[in-house]
Amino acid sequence: MSQSATLNEPAPRTTEHFDVLIVGAGISGVGGAYHLTKQCPEKSFVVLEGLESFGGTWLMHKYPGIRSDSDLYTFGYRFKPWTGAPIATAAEIRKYMGEVIDENDLAPHIRYRHRILTASWSSADNLWTIDAVRSDTGERFRFTANFLWMCQGYYRHSQGYTPDWPGMDRFTGRIVHPQTWPEDLDYTGKNVIVIGSGATTATLVPAIAGDCAHVTVLQRSPTYFWTGRNDNELADTLRELEIPEEWIHEIVRRKILHDQEAITRLSFEEPEFMKAELINGIRPYLPPDYDIETHFTPKYRPWRQRLAFVPDADLFKGIASGQASMITDEIEAFTEKGILLKSGKELEADIIVTATGFNLCVLGDITFTIDGQPLVFSDTVTYRGMMFTGVPNMLWVFGYFRASWTLRADMISDFVCRLLHHMDELGAKRVTPALRPVDADMPILPWIDPENFNPGYLMRSMHLLPRRGDKPEWQHTQDYWTEKDVLPAADLDDGCLVYE
């Protein structure tokens, strides 16, 4: 870095070129870097990351108890065995990612504190030009790249989603969003309300309940939870038999994915049975007279929103012990002392935590242009949930809702490497998805069918997302079990991808 760099320095002085530029050093970007080094060692590449280190989601979120709700056998990469308990803390996930970086000498490829501001495609040069700014010095950098690999995640990291409730400014306590958890927040002996019913609430509440005077979970509607011990019996048995960790990783992944497929299928085919199974699964951990109907019986069919896993039933144990309680009601307004509910009841609190979700952020808040024209992302149609019509040499990673994100990140990495090799074989400098003549009458639909999956952050932002067609080539199917066979075999010459 230049010693003379000054804040808000206006223009970059040098331009560096790479074959591939990866945006983001989260689980997707670090995985992408690994696969590039193994499968395309001849390609030069750089990873630009806005934060001070790797980890993405697992670096950003610092609220008490932050942990995965997927098992790490499938959330971990397919190429690096996971040897710990299935549900992992953010620190454990970052340690694992750090090992991937060290073991594969990826660090020299990653530039931290490089926030990308703009990405401009030039068809004349077949190049992306990427302008970035260093978050600590303000120094500007320019890069060019043949291929842009977007691993920027799907939500705005700087700020979570908090609805605008009447009277919020009147509340005299503190209002906190888990995504921007203040380091100095002292909740010891305090009355805390946590608004929201998703995985964040299920993680946060057990982590703080023991220290607070009381934690009240306030939800508008219930979520499906399932619980089990935070261990994997099969993995433990295989370890006792001294099976190599690589084998254990593969065998346990297959077993978990096999079981998850059955659960997903049952959720669609026999939703009432699945609903009963889920609710009966948590019943033993709650007091006998507990009002499960009101607090833990969702109105939607299982898996239309993410199923939240509660390891070792810790959330329910907190409720059973009286340290935490659930209220299912709606907020009328905030008051000086807490929250007035539509039922007329008033809750008092010192701290209110709004575990109310994300703001979707489609392209890392980067301003995109194609040949000088602004890219209107919602005018594009997605090619297999990875690339977009009219957007050359660009691919993004969007994982699964009903299976671990990394399963898809690994498969997409294979796809990118296959595509790059194919372009080299063809001598092509540009690949652009385009609807074929046979797709002319295809209905163009929103990114995802709300009947299939409909959490709030997607429903609020559907108008920002690319669109889909009704054929597998033109949608993100969200179905790992089909895609694991289809994606590796996808025909790169079926006319959906135009090479020049």
Ligand X SMILES: Cc1cc2nc3c(=O)[nH]c(=O)nc-3n(C[C@H](O)[C@H](O)[C@H](O)COP(=O)(O)OP(=O)(O)OC[C@H]3O[C@@H](n4cnc5c(N)ncnc54)[C@H](O)[C@@H]3O)c2cc1C
Instruction: List residues near ligand X by CB under 6 A.
Output: 23-29, 48-51, 56-57, 61, 68-70, 75, 115-116, 151-153, 157, 200, 364-366, 397, 399, 404-405
Rounded CA gap, 181 and 420, in Å? Answer: 41
Closest to ligand X by CB, 26 or 385: 26
Min CB(82)–ligand X separation in Å: 13
Min CB(359)–ligand X separation in Å: 12
Min CB(139)–ligand X separation in Å: 15
Closest to ligand X by CB, 202 or 326: 202
Closest to ligand X by CB, 141 or 405: 405
Closest to ligand X by CB, 69 or 473: 69
Closest to ligand X by CB, 361 or 370: 361
- Burial readout 177-194 (b: 16 or more C-beta within 10 A, e: otherwise): bbbebeeeeebeebbbbb
Closest to ligand X by CB, 152 or 219: 152
Closest to ligand X by CB, 197 or 200: 200
Rounded CA gap, 68 and 71, in Å? Answer: 7
The residue among 386, 427, 394 whose CA lies nearest residue 20 is 394
Q: Let me know how long the chain is.
A: 500
End-to-end CA distance of the chain: 37
Closest to ligand X by CB, 54 or 334: 54
Q: Which two three-digit tokens encode residue 393?
A: 């040499």
Min CB(50)–ligand X separation in Å: 3
Tell me the residue type at 436: R
The residue among 267, 287, 179 whose CA lies nearest residue 226 is 267
Taking each continuous run of H as one helix and of E as one strand, the counts in the chain are 13, 23
Rounded CA gap, 411 and 257, in Å? Answer: 15
DSSP 163: -
Q: Which two three-digit tokens encode residue 18?
A: 């790479």
Min CB(161)–ligand X separation in Å: 11
Closest to ligand X by CB, 73 or 171: 73
Answer for the pair 212, 349: CB distance below 8 angstroms, yes or no: no
Rounded CA gap, 414 and 420, in Å? Answer: 10
Rounded CA gap, 24 and 26, in Å? Answer: 6
Closest to ligand X by CB, 29 or 311: 29
Min CB(226)–ligand X separation in Å: 13
- Count Cβ atoms below 10 Å from residue 313 Cβ, excluding itself: 21
Q: Which two three-digit tokens encode residue 13?
A: 């002085």
Tell me the residue type at 26: G
Closest to ligand X by CB, 157 or 304: 157
Min CB(243)–ligand X separation in Å: 26
Answer for the pair 217, 201: CB distance below 8 angstroms, yes or no: yes
Min CB(49)–ligand X separation in Å: 5
Closest to ligand X by CB, 202 or 286: 202
- Count Cβ atoms below 10 Å from residue 323 Cβ, excluding itself: 18
Beta-sheet pairing, 127-134 with 140-150: antiparallel
Min CB(133)–ligand X separation in Å: 9
Rounded CA gap, 126 and 144, in Å? Answer: 10
Min CB(475)–ligand X separation in Å: 19
Min CB(154)–ligand X separation in Å: 7
Q: What is the DSSP string of 59-71?
A: HH--STT-B-SS-
Min CB(132)–ligand X separation in Å: 7
Q: What is the DSSP string of 450-500?
A: TTT---HHHHHHGGGS-BB-SSGGGS----HHHHHHHHHH--TTSSSEEE-
List of residues 6+ apart from 159 with CB closer than 8 A: 177, 179, 180, 359
